[in-house]
Each structure stands twice: as structure tokens, then as C-alpha cells.
């Protein structure tokens, strides 16, 4: 369906508009036969026509995928829209009435395309939800096994050295022999684990490439090739085995039998236990990287979420001042319900939920969301001048964690879903969002949309939504939201001519909350970018809101830009 000039002109707005010309209302519905976006009013008008009364109109999210346009090679004025089951080829309606296809059985090509589309999406989902997570979990387990083996063997070495020091010169020969044997076992075990790690690395690379290939097939305009493809077959996860670790039998101290005194290395005569690969049917259709405890907490939150909704009004719960800062520029909440609060002068303080200061740290941070708390309870913060990310461990040691090269890191967020670290950073010419894993390994860079346009200019606050979307508050670009793969979903540029976004957060329902510093408001969006309301305005005595966060009890914390006042609200019920 071609877009009108008005569609193109308004394509960068924060909501999807009705497809009827000159209608500027929000799109809610979709006519499958016409492939037309419709608002509620235009839907009613559409159905008034006798020609349209039997049209299937659904909510926009439930729409059928539109068949890509392909011209018939024999009849260039006709679109390919049918599929001959006998010949197994796509063709136009004119071809179906002539030649070899007479009396053949035909199927609507759009229906087949929709079935293929759903099938491929399911396969992609399987890879993301089953094959990749299990493979990555096995890889983590192998690394843990490596550490455990190292610890076990180190303990054995310590025991052997203690025995040797006691017996002095009499034990040198025996220790040397045992050490050699132990080194061979260690080498053999590490070789096996490294081999398994390499096998899983290759398999994960294959899965990632396979996903790209499936996406390429879905975006292909060669319908005949797509229709004739068989269901993609994903290679099974390779088998891996858990290592059988050696033990050590302590010796008896006797001069007559030095070998027996020093002990003997032994390896259990058992086959390595295969790592259990859960069947795909046993895995729920949700992210599988959570620990059991996290999954249990997520289920509790999910049950609570189903019973929650927006309140009719916003209620102020309490308000307090935060000593040690001159304003509340950014907020981070840790797992022990303590707040980390920063101002424009680099002061970073930790308080309880009543504003009592626990500790204070001096940083080089300014007016941006430059700190976050990880799932392990550590605080990490950016130093954009030195181009590094620092870590504050729970014993209050500050260490350099990640070097960002030529990029100045502004904003940072630690994912509550998988522990990944999202960083908004800039150079003189460019801006991007980079994803690191929790050990600091770079995983992903997000810089441009599909057409090559820059997504960011100054991403000074960043967060993650419950569906994995990366939500960035960019002073010049507004609210920019991409999915976890880095594909641009939507941008939000406010409700008026001026919009100055600062602090941003999300809640248990997937809402996006963002501060508008100029208009003294906090905007509330749904997770698809639809504007819902101005949640807080000057009527609630909000002045220069700079920062927001939501705690585990769904309380909204709002920090102001000219004072050190922190206000807490209830807006969900």
C-alpha cells in the first residue's frame, strides 16, 4: 500500500496515524481486505459502505501481513496473487484461466504468505527462546566447571605441597611424578572443556546466521522461492559432557613407603555425565536467561501486573530533601531499596527511602543519567571526561570497569532482564547506544535506523522496558525507542512545539515515563509510543522535573532540577 504525502510527512511522529487522507487521528484498526489503517471513526464510516460491510476489520496489532507486490512475468499489468497447488507455482488470476492451469486447484497467495510468515516467526522465536539461551547457559556452565576444576586441582596441589614440605627431601621424587600426572589430567580436562566451548561457539554462530537467513527469506520479494521452501530445520544443540574431576587421597607419614605417604591422584572411573537438554515443549515462551529465583519473582510480578491499572488520579505519598546534593539530577534504586542520587556538580549520594544519607562519593558526572545499579548490587557510573565506566563494589572499592575508546559515555542502565549494560555515548560527530554483557564484553552497537539516518544526537538518559526495548531520552531527538535487536520502533517528540526530555524510566505495565524539563511535566506513554497523558503537571507543584524511577511497590519517585527535593507518588492501583 503506497503512502500518501501526508503519511510520509508525518512518518516521524510518535504514534501511528489513520491511513485515510486528511485524517490525523490515531490508528486503532486495520481492514485486512483493503490493507487500510483506520481510526475508530473512519472504521465506522468504512463499514457503512455496502461494498465494505463484509470486510474483516481487526485491531491493528492483529492485522494480516500484506502480500508483497510482484508483477506477473506473462501479464505485466497483473499482480501475482494465486498459488497453483498442482504446479506449485505462484501466478496471476489471468494465468489461472489459461493453458496448463485449467481445472487446477488454486489457493489465495495472501493466505499462504500469512501462514509462511507465521511459520518463520515461530522458528525465529524458537531460536531466541530455546536454542540460543540453552546453548549460552551450557557455555556459562562450562566456564563455571573450568573454575571449579581449577579450584579443586589447586587444592590438591596445596595438599601435596604440604605433605612434601613435611617429608622434605624424601618426597621430591614422588611429588614430581604426581605433579606430572596431575598436569596431564588438568590438560586433558581443559582440552575437553575448550573443545566443548568451541563447539557451542560454532553452534551459536550458526544459530545467529540462521536467524539472519530466515529474516532474509521473509524480506525477499521472490515469492515463488519462499512458497516452495520447506519448513526450516534447525540443527540440534550439540551434546556436551560435564567433567569428571580428580580427587586426592592423603598419604600416611612413614619413611618406609614414601609413595603411599604422599598420596595418589585418582580419577573416578565413571563416564562424563551429559548435560541435560530440556525439550522445547517444556520451555515457557518467555526469556530463559533468568535464574530460578528471578523467574519466581517475575511470575509474582506478572500475577500482580494482571490486576494493576492506571489510577484515576495521581496521589502524593511523601516528600523529603536529600542532603549532599543541590538538585536531583538522576536516580538509581538498588535491591535493598536504597537510592543513589546525583546532581550537576558530580555529587553521588546513597540514601534510604526517607532521605537519610548513607554515603557520598565525588564523581565527574553532570546533568545526565550516568549511574545505575547492577543485578549483583554493584553501582556502575560513567566518567565521560576520562572515557571509562567505573564500578563501585559492595565493599565500596572503586575500579575501572570498561574503557570506551574515543566515545564519551553519558548515560548507563543495567538490565533487570539479563544483566546486560546499556550505554549512551557520543563523539564530536556521532552518537550511539552500546550493549555490553555484565563482564564488560561489547555485544552490540546501535547507531542508525534502516535507512541510515542517525538515531541519536545526545542520549543523556537511558532505560529498558519489560519487553526488552531500549528507551533513550535524547535532548535533541526526543524519546527514541529501539527493540532489543536495535531496530527503530518509534520516536516521541512531545505534545507541543518545545520538548526537552530528561529522566526516563518504565514500569511493570510497560509504560514509559519521561520528564519534560521545559513544560514542568512528566509524560506517560504506552510501550508502543502512544501518548496516554501528562501524568504530572504544575498542578501537582512539579517544577523542572529532572529524574524519575519506579520502585518495587510501584511508587514513582520524581526529582526536581532546582532543589534537592524528592517527591513520591502513587499512580497505579
CA–CA gap between residue 108 and residue 223 (Å, rounded): 13
Unique residue bearing C-alpha cell 501528562: 534
CB 240 within 8 A of CB 199: yes
The residue out of 289, 320, 335 marking a domain boundary is: 289
- For residue 486, give the C-alpha cell: 536495535
Confidence of residue 167 (pLDDT cuts 50, 70, 90): low
pLDDT at 107 over 50: yes
Residue 299 lies in a domain: no
Q: Are residues 336 and 234 in the same domain?
A: no
Query: How much of the chain exceeds pLDDT 90, in percent?
Result: 33
Phi, psi angles (nearest 5°) of residue 553: -100, 15
CB 547 within 8 A of CB 559: yes
CA–CA gap between residue 240 and residue 255 (Å, rounded): 45
Stretch 42-52: mean pLDDT: 88
- For residue 478, give the C-alpha cell: 526526543
**Which helix (DSSP H) or strand (DSSP E) does residue 42 occupy?**
helix 40-48
Angle of helix 132-167 versus helix 172-219 axis, rounded to 10: 170
**DSSP H helical segments within 168-283, as ranges?**
172-219, 223-228, 258-262
Residue 72 lies in a domain: no
In this structure, of 281-295, 419-433, 526-540, the range with the lowest mean pLDDT score is 281-295
The residue out of 263, 289, 315 marking a domain boundary is: 289
Interval 305-324: pLDDT, tens:
545 677 778 899 999 999 88
CA–CA gap between residue 546 and residue 563 (Å, rounded): 10
Interval 409-424: pLDDT, tens:
999 999 988 889 999 9
- For residue 229, give the C-alpha cell: 521452501
Q: Are residues 132 and 39 in the same domain?
A: no
In this structure, of 171-175, 273-277, 359-363, 554-558, the range with the lowest mean pLDDT score is 171-175
* Number of structural domains the chain divides into: 3
CB 509 within 8 A of CB 519: no
Interval 474-505: pLDDT, tens:
999 999 999 988 899 999 999 887 899 999 99
Question: 10 Å Cβ neighbour count for 502?
Answer: 26
CB 349 within 8 A of CB 382: no
Residue 88 lies in a domain: no
Domain of 54 in residue numbering reads as 5-62
Interval 455-480: pLDDT, tens:
999 999 999 998 889 999 999 999 99
Q: Are residues 40 and 148 in the same domain?
A: no
Q: Are residues 366 and 482 in the same domain?
A: yes
Q: CA-CA distances (angstroms) from residue 143 to 135, 147, 204, 239, 277?
A: 13, 6, 16, 16, 17
pLDDT at 291 over 90: no
CA–CA gap between residue 56 and residue 41 (Å, rounded): 16
Query: What's the CATH code of the domain at 53?
Result: 3.30.160
In this structure, of 66-75, 405-414, 518-527, the range with the lowest mean pLDDT score is 66-75
Task: Classify 523 as helix, strand or coil.
Answer: strand
- Using alpha carbons, select from 530, 567, 531 the residue that is nearest to residue 547: 567
CA–CA gap between residue 526 and residue 510 (Å, rounded): 7
Amino acid at each position: 500500500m503506497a503512502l500518501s504525502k501526508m503519511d510520509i510527512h508525518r512518518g516521524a511522529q510518535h504514534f501511528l496515524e489513520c491511513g485515510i487522507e486528511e485524517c490525523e487521528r490515531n490508528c486503532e484498526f486495520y481492514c485486512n481486505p483493503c490493507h487500510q489503517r483506520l481510526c475508530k471513526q473512519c472504521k465506522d464510516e468504512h463499514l457503512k459502505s455496502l461494498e465494505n460491510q463484509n470486510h474483516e476489520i481487526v485491531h491493528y496489532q492483529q492485522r494480516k501481513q500484506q502480500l508483497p507486490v510482484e508483477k506477473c512475468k506473462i501479464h505485466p499489468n497483473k499482480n501475482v496473487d494465486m498459488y497453483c497447488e498442482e504446479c506449485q507455482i505462484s501466478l496471476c488470476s489471468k494465468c489461472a484461466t489459461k493453458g496448463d492451469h485449467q481445472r487446477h486447484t488454486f489457493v489465495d497467495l495472501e493466505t499462504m504468505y500469512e501462514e509462511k510468515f507465521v511459520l518463520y516467526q515461530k522458528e525465529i522465536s524458537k531460536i531466541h527462546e530455546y536454542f540460543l539461551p540453552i546453548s549460552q547457559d551450557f557455555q556459562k556452565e562450562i566456564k563455571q566447571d573450568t573454575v571449579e576444576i581449577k579450584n579443586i586441582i589447586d587444592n590438591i596441589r596445596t595438599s601435596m605441597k604440604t605433605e612434601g614440605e613435611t617429608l622434605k627431601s624424601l618426597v621430591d621424587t614422588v611429588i614430581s611424578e604426581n605433579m606430572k600426572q596431575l598436569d596431564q589430567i588438568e590438560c586433558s580436562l581443559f582440552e575437553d572443556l575448550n573443545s566443548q566451548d568451541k563447539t557451542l561457539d560454532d553452534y551459536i554462530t550458526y544459530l545467529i546466521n540462521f536467524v539472519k537467513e530466515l529474516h532474509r527469506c521473509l524480506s525477499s520479494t521472490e515469492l515463488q522461492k519462499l512458497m516452495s521452501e520447506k519448513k526450516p530445520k534447525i540443527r540440534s544443540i550439540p551434546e556436551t559432557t560435564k567433567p569428571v574431576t580428580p580427587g586426592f587421597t592423603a598419604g600416611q607419614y612413614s619413611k618406609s613407603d614414601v609413595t603411599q605417604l604422599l598420596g595418589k591422584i585418582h580419577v573416578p572411573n565413571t563416564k562424563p555425565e551429559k548435560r541435560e537438554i530440556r525439550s522445547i515443549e517444556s520451555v515457557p515462551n518467555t526469556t530463559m536467561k533468568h535464574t530460578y529465583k528471578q523467574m519466581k519473582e517475575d511470575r509474582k510480578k506478572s500475577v500482580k501486573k494482571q490486576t494493576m491499572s492506571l489510577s484515576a488520579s495521581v496521589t502524593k505519598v511523601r516528600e523529603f530533601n536529600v542532603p549532599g546534593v543541590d538538585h536531583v539530577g538522576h536516580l538509581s534504586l538498588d535491591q535493598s531499596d536504597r537510592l543513589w542520587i546525583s546532581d550537576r556538580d558530580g555529587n553521588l549520594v546513597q540514601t534510604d527511602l526517607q532521605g537519610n544519607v548513607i554515603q557520598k562519593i565525588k564523581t565527574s558526572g553532570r546533568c545526565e543519567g550516568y549511574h545505575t545499579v547492577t543485578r549483583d548490587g554493584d553501582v556502575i557510573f560513567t566518567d565521560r571526561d576520562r572515557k571509562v565506566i567505573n564500578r563501585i563494589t559492595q565493599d565500596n572499592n572503586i575500579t575501572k570497569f570498561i574503557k570506551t575508546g574515543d566515545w564519551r559515555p553519558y548515560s548507563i542502565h543495567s538490565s533487570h532482564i539479563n544483566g546486560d549494560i546499556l550505554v549512551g555515548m557520543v563523539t564530536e560527530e556521532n552518537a550511539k547506544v552500546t550493549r555490553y554483557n555484565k563482564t564488560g564484553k561489547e555485544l552490540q552497537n546501535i547507531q542508525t535506523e534502516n535507512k541510515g539516518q542517525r538515531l541519536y544526537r545526545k542520549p543523556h538518559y537511558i532505560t529498558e522496558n519489560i519487553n526488552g526495548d531500549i528507551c533513550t531520552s535524547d535532548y535533541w531527538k526526543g524519546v527514541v525507542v529501539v527493540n532489543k535487536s536495535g531496530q527503530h520502533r518509534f520516536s516521541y517528540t512531545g505534545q507541543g512545539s518545545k520538548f526537552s526530555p530528561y529522566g526516563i524510566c518504565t514500569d511493570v505495565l510497560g509504560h514509559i515515563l519521561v520528564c519534560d524539563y521545559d513544560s514542568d511535566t512528566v509524560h506517560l506513554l504506552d510501550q508502543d509510543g502512544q501518548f496516554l497523558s501528562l501524568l504530572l503537571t504544575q498542578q501537582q507543584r512539579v517544577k523542572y522535573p529532572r529524574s524519575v524511577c519506579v520502585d518495587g511497590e510501584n511508587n514513582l519517585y520524581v526529582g526536581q532540577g532546582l532543589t534537592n527535593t524528592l517527591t513520591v507518588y502513587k499512580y497505579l492501583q
